[in-house]
Amino acid sequence: MSERFLRYQHSCNPMKLISFHIDLDDKWVVDHTAQVHHDSVYLEALEKIERIFLLRGVPVTLFVVGKDLEVESKRKALQRINTLYGLSGAALIEFANHTFSHNNDILKNKSTEIAQTHELIFEHLGQICCGFRSPGYVFHHSILHHLADIKYRYDSSALPTGIGPILRILNRLQHGVVGERNFGTLSNFCLPNMPFLLSEFDLIELPVTVMPIFRLPIHFSIWRGAFPELVCNLLKKLSMVVYIFHLTDFFSQDYLIVKQIDSFLDDRKAVLACEFATMVTKEFTHA
């Protein structure tokens, strides 16, 4: 079914699309501390996201860590940009679920982690969340079952590379991150590198796009903005791309981020993740 769709999409719809995602992982997530507090760097990063994406009319999907919505300054900053760009007629922003505490052992308490952030996004941002990304790119059937049960439309946790076990070891050595399923397994290499239907769960998977053929991760947080034109050329033959950033990318790399985005937008239309999932669903329906 997936392969049939990919051939259909490429041959019948010449429009090339990209969905920009930002995982809002604050410093407390990166430093693995338990303390969540007001953080001026978080607020400054949101201002840069507004300037780089929203003021330029580029739609973006923000994956929110629920704990940050419990901090008044962060909550108000997200509410402000939601009022300006999410609740307006031409919505440029949407919010997706990135768990409550960014626990890399998500399989142990997935239902609570997902439910808490789902409720906080609805309560404080007025959006009914329909998409999810797991911390550490954990793509697992038990999470997919749960997302199907709560009627989510898409998951965006899959990283279709075979070097997941290597990345997991490096992440543990460098940052002390524990998580048996982080970055996936060798079998991830066989996953499609474009959106596909998870028919068993009635979900659309929006995998994080990797380099074709070699299947190496290629998102901004890995390359740090080096060779933006090369990145675009490597992905040129893919009609649908999911390209992700992390909040920490916006601490000091504004120029490189703008350059990378503009390189993509030379020949692609940017869409929100939920719109992306809807378009993919329609293509499957008519394929």
pLDDT averaged over 10-residue windows placed end to end, the chain, 287 residues: 39 75 88 68 94 96 96 95 83 96 86 97 96 93 95 96 74 63 81 92 95 90 79 90 94 88 94 91 65
- What is the dotted CATH code of the domain comprising 2-286? 3.20.20.370
What is the distance between the alpha carbons of residues 33 and 27, in angstroms, rounded to a whole number?
A: 9
**Could you give the dihedral angle defined by the CA atoms of residues 263, 265, 271 and 277, in that order, rounded to the nearest 10 degrees?**
-60
pTM: 0.90
**pLDDT of 224:** 73
Instruction: Please name which of 102, 95, 90 lies closest in space to residue 61, comparing C-alpha atoms.
Output: 95
**pLDDT of 277:** 92
What is the distance between the alpha carbons of residues 192 and 6, in angstroms, rounded to a whole number?
A: 9
The residues spanned by each domain of the chain are 2-286
Query: Can you name the residues that pair with 245 across neighbouring β-strands?
Result: 22
**pLDDT of 177:** 61
What is the distance between the alpha carbons of residues 191 and 9, in angstroms, rounded to a whole number?
A: 17
What is the distance between the alpha carbons of residues 270 and 276, in angstroms, rounded to a whole number?
A: 9
What is the distance between the alpha carbons of residues 217 and 236, in angstroms, rounded to a whole number?
A: 15
Query: What are residue 240's phi and psi, to 5 degrees?
Result: -130, 125
CA separation, residue 112 to residues 37, 96, 102, 119, 177 (Å):
22, 16, 12, 11, 21
